[in-house]
Copies of this chain bind each other. A is one copy, B any other.
Amino acid sequence: MVGIKDVAKHAGVSIGTVSNVVNRPEVVSAATRKRVLSVIEELGYVRDESARQLRAGRSRIVALVVLDLGNPFFVEVARGAEEAAHARGLNVITCDSGQRTDLESSYLAMLAEQRVRGVLLSPVDTSGEALKAFRRSGVPYVFVDRGVPADQASSVSVDDVAGGALAGRHLAEAGHRRIAFVTGPAVLAQCRDREAGLRSVVDGSGVSLTVLEATALDFASGRDAGARLLGMSPRPTAVFCANDLLALGVLQAMVGAGIRVPEEMAIVGYDDIEFAGAAAVPLTSVRQPARRLGRTAAELLLAETGDGAAAGHQGVVFTPELVVRESTRTRR
């Protein structure tokens, strides 16, 4: 593999000059610059980032670790993060923890070894071992889609309690008295907060609330939850799901069983992914500014790790928004 030395030899200059041509072209004379560049082209030299990084002590890569890439919400977050990083000449690598603590740990360990510039983390569990070990490595990180006290780290999140309340209020006002909440694993703060928001509206109002915990926040688990819902009696008249994938799964179960939505079962999802509007019955959902979440998180991280070296952490919280569609629109 051709290195800077080969280029130097062929061009009849020193290694340092080649390096200058590549990194600070303005300090080298036009003549040599041209000569060196043509040798680089001819030999097909591409610099070795690992050597560069070893010397520099820091990498030009930012990592994003998300809960589930199968969820279009996180794909949007990733796009936002890339926008912001590219604008600063950094690259992003995205890792999918699949909501598994072990995978999350292993990715974090890998990223620490890579000495990435920083990590945008949508954590499975903010208090677990995985994170504790990572913190020791000293790699800067920012929480995405998960708020934490600002003394611990910066974070960008959406107010999940408010989102849950939004959904709850919507259903309560439509007159539903038996509501189900389909949630994911309780380790996920998003799930807990959305439930809390829902309860804040529903509790004490005479509405009965049933909670169904799905094994994962995905489509298949939603279908399972839907099946359980069908077996209940009396059956709830409305269901709020912790995300759209679950909601789509529930919806499919309903349609499959011939239950009319929203007449016999109203459904509210969360995230407002693009598919929500394209479902069998377009889904009412709580919208989160996914792309902005990613962009802001990246910006926060870069501000912290930049040369300006701002000290303190920040917490940014966005506000969710209810998008009403057919799945809760009672046609009379």
A150, CB-defined interface residue at 8 Å: no
Q: For the complex formed, measure the closest distance between the CB of A278 and the CB atoms of chain B, giving whole angstroms.
A: 5
Q: Is the interface of A mostly helix, strand, loop or mixed?
A: helix
One of A70-78, A157-165, A191-199 at the interface: A70-78
Interface size class of A (residues with CB under 8 A): 35 or more
Complex formed: what's the CA distance from A69 to B80 in Å? 13
For the complex with contacts A49-B50, A50-B50, A69-B69, 18 further pairs of A-B residues with Cβ separation under 8 Å are A44-B137, A44-B138, A46-B109, A46-B112, A50-B53, A50-B54, A50-B114, A75-B75, A82-B96, A91-B107, A91-B110, A93-B93, A93-B94, A248-B275, A252-B277, A252-B278, A275-B278, A280-B282
Complex formed: what's the CA distance from A248 to B282 in Å? 12
Complex formed: what's the CA distance from A236 to B136 in Å? 63
| CB-defined contacts of A94 to chain B, threshold 8 Å | 69, 93-94
A48, CB-defined interface residue at 8 Å: yes
Asked whether A278 and B280 contact (CB < 8 A) given A51-B54, A113-B49, A115-B48, the answer is: yes
| CB-defined contacts of A124 to chain B, threshold 8 Å | none
A311, CB-defined interface residue at 8 Å: no
A235, CB-defined interface residue at 8 Å: no
Partner of A281, one of B48, B49, B110, B280: B280
12 contacts between A and B (CB under 8 A): A47-B113, A48-B54, A48-B113, A49-B115, A51-B54, A79-B96, A82-B96, A93-B93, A219-B274, A219-B275, A275-B275, A279-B279
A251, CB-defined interface residue at 8 Å: yes
Question: In residues 24-60 of chain A, which contact B (Cβ within 8 Å)?
Answer: 44, 46-54, 57, 59
Please name the residue on chain B nearest to A2 by beta carbon. Answer: B138
